[in-house]
């Protein structure tokens, strides 16, 4: 658990705001002499994270290695080191993260980072297995940022490359839905998988299962609208878009789509509205 000191709290606030350059400068300026061990750990750890986010991987690694020497079981440092190595040396990252997983096979993020390392090495089948293992531990989407890919996104990206991998995915979805029948994310991404393989009827059923678990989930509703668009079910798409706009009146993309459909319908009817 992070210790509280006003200077470190200020640094963490800058990091939450993604102002890593400023946070690093502040951490570098803090007096390093005669620090209590916990404070020293926190300072080196935060510096390591800042340097990684700034792409200064060698300096990040040095800071995190200092933390590891002081506390070899520091959980966050192990993952940070794995992230850095994935960028600079995927083979070494795989070995390192394998060691982390031997110590804690339930570390969801270690499975994810090892999948990234194996992807960088071109070992796609092994990467798929790692992502599957992470999702077996917890199928929740956990999207930290709308622009950032989730574990499910990684799985579909890897698994849709080859026909035999698609068959593996189908089997995995059957397994995960048996384990977590009330996971809206598992149902939603299963539906997305079916849509991407052009099985629109089965995708509609899976999206309906996801929506039954979370009736006001905008991501599920947008996915259903996209399915109807792909399947050219105009009336059904309009119905879902109107549901979206009831929940999110400021959704510009949905409103633009609805206006485009209505304009197209008007043009089809002709000037006399027939």
> What is the CATH number for 38?
1.25.40.10
For residue 247, the model assigns a pLDDT of 96
Residues 222-255: tens digit of each pLDDT? 999 999 999 899 999 999 999 999 999 999 999 9
Q: Looking at the domain assignment, is residue 261 inside a domain?
A: yes
CB atoms within 10 A of CB 90: 19
**Residue at a domain's end among 68, 88, 108:** 88
**Residue 177 is assigned to a structural domain of this protein:** no
pLDDT bucket at 183, cuts 50 / 70 / 90: very high
Q: 112 in a domain, yes or no?
A: no
Q: Inform me whether the pLDDT recorded for 140 exceeds 50.
A: yes
Positive or negative torsion for Cα 140, 143, 147, 151: negative
The CA distance from 118 to 208, in Å, is 35
Give residue 274's pLDDT: 55
Q: How confident is the model at residue 143 (pLDDT cuts 50, 70, 90)?
A: low
The predicted model gives 159-175 an average pLDDT of 86
Most confident of 70-79, 87-96, 167-176: 167-176
Domain for residue 135, yes or no?
no
Is 17 a domain residue? yes
Question: What DSSP line would sit under 97-127, residue for residue?
Answer: HHHHHHH-TT-HHHHHHHHHHHHHTT-HHHH
Confidence of residue 186 (pLDDT cuts 50, 70, 90): very high
**pLDDT: is 33 or 221 the higher one?**
221
**pLDDT score of 264 more than 80:** yes
> What are the angstrom distances between the C-alpha of 113 and each of 82, 161, 175, 220?
7, 20, 23, 27
How far apart are the C-alpha atoms of 221 and 215, rounded to whole Å? 8
Asked if the structure places residue 193 within a domain, the reply is no
- Does 147 score more than 50 pLDDT? no
- Please list, residue by residue across 127-144, b when 16 or more beta carbons sit within 10 angstroms of its beta carbon and e when fewer do: bbbbbbbbbeeebebeee
The 10 Å CB-count burial string (b at 16+, else e) for 183-193 is bbbbbbbbbbb
- Which among 33, 63, 88 is the end of a domain? 88
| Assigned domain for 33 exists | yes
What residues make up the domain containing 214? 202-268
- Report the share of the chain in percent with pLDDT over 90: 49
Q: What is the mean pLDDT of residues 247-266?
A: 94
Provide the domain count of the chain: 2
Average pLDDT, rounded, for the chain = 87
Task: Please check whether residue 241 lies inside any domain of the structure.
Answer: yes
Confidence category of residue 150, pLDDT binned at 50, 70, 90: confident
* Among 88, 119, 139, residue at a domain's last position: 88
60 CB burial (10 A radius; 0-12, 13-18, 19+): buried
Check if the beta carbon of residue 124 is closer than 8 Å to that of residue 161.
yes
Q: Is the pLDDT of residue 208 over 50?
A: yes
């Amino acid at each position: 658990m992070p210790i509280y000191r006003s200077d470190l709290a200020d640094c963490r606030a800058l990091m939450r705001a993604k102002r890593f350059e400023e946070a690093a400068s502040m951490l570098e300026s803090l007096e390093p002499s005669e620090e209590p061990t916990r404070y020293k750990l926190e300072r080196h750890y935060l510096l390591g994270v800042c340097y990684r986010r700034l792409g200064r991987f060698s300096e990040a690694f040095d800071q995190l290695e200092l933390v590891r020497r002081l506390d070899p079981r520091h959980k966050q440092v192990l993952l940070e080191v794995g992230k850095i190595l994935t960028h600079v040396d995927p083979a070494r990252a795989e070995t390192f993260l394998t060691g982390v997983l031997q110590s804690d096979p339930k570390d969801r993020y270690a499975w994810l980072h090892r999948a990234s390392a194996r992807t960088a090495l071109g070992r796609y089948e092994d990467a798929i297995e790692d992502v599957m293992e992470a999702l077996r531990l917890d199928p929740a989407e956990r999207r930290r940022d709308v622009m950032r890919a989730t574990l499910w996104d990684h799985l579909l990206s890897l698994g849709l490359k080859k026909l035999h991998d698609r068959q593996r995915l189908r089997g995995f979805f059957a397994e995960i839905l048996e384990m977590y029948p009330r996971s809206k994310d598992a149902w939603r991404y299963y539906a997305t998988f079916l849509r991407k393989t052009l099985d629109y009827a089965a995708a509609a059923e899976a999206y309906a299962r996801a929506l039954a678990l979370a009736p006001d989930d905008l991501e599920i509703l947008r996915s259903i609208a996209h399915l109807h668009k792909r399947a050219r079910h105009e009336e059904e798409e309009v119905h879902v878009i109107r549901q979206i706009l009831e929940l999110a009146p400021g959704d510009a993309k949905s409103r633009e789509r609805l206006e485009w459909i209505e304009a197209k319908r008007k043009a089809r009817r002709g000037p006399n509205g027939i």
